[in-house]
Amino acid sequence: MNAPRIGLGIDLHRLGPDRPCTLGGLVLPCDVGPIGHSDGDAILHAICDAVLGAAGLDDLGSLFPDDAAVNKDRASHEFCTAALEAITEHGLRVASIDVVVECERPKLAPHRPALRSRIGELFDLEAERVNLKGKTGEGVDAIGRGEAVRATAVVLLTDL
């Protein structure tokens, strides 16, 4: 057995009106949503980068460029599927995921169980092996003003 591998992923998106608030693979009730070339799901983007990084593979932006028309408004769960397939080909699996999400809105606490379940489903993992914490920006910078959402993810990979 090889040593476990750890990956770190960070993603930041501006928030704007007239966008679905897609985070963690769910559409959450909110008057703003992440702005991005794809659906802007900062949580899934950070997790995918952590998964790919732990495996020593190219990052999400290299695999799914934001200047490619095929990725316009693309659902981020498709990125998760591709990341999972890529690490499986390398004999690896996700063992645990830990995510910190910084935003003023939406409030994540009421959605934590559903988010943990959905993320686990996307990465073939029990919800108990997924943790998600919501933090505010305390009025500091774009996050604190409610203009952005940032997700930071740490992922542990082990052999299949």
Reported pTM: 0.97
Between CA 152 and CA 125 the distance in angstroms is: 19
Rounded mean pLDDT of 40-55? 98
Between CA 31 and CA 43 the distance in angstroms is: 18
Rounded mean pLDDT of 24-36? 97
In which band, very low, low, confident or very high, does the pLDDT at 2 lie, cut at 50, 70 and 90? Answer: confident
Between CA 138 and CA 52 the distance in angstroms is: 31
Q: Which two tokens stand for residue 151?
A: 């997700």
pLDDT in tens, 54-77: 999 999 999 999 999 999 999 999
> What is the set of domains in the chain, with CATH numbers?
5-159 (3.30.1330.50)
Between CA 36 and CA 158 the distance in angstroms is: 31
State the greatest distance between any 2 C-alpha atoms of the chain, in Å, as a whole number: 49
Rounded mean pLDDT of 22-45? 97
Residue 1 has pLDDT above 90, yes or no: no
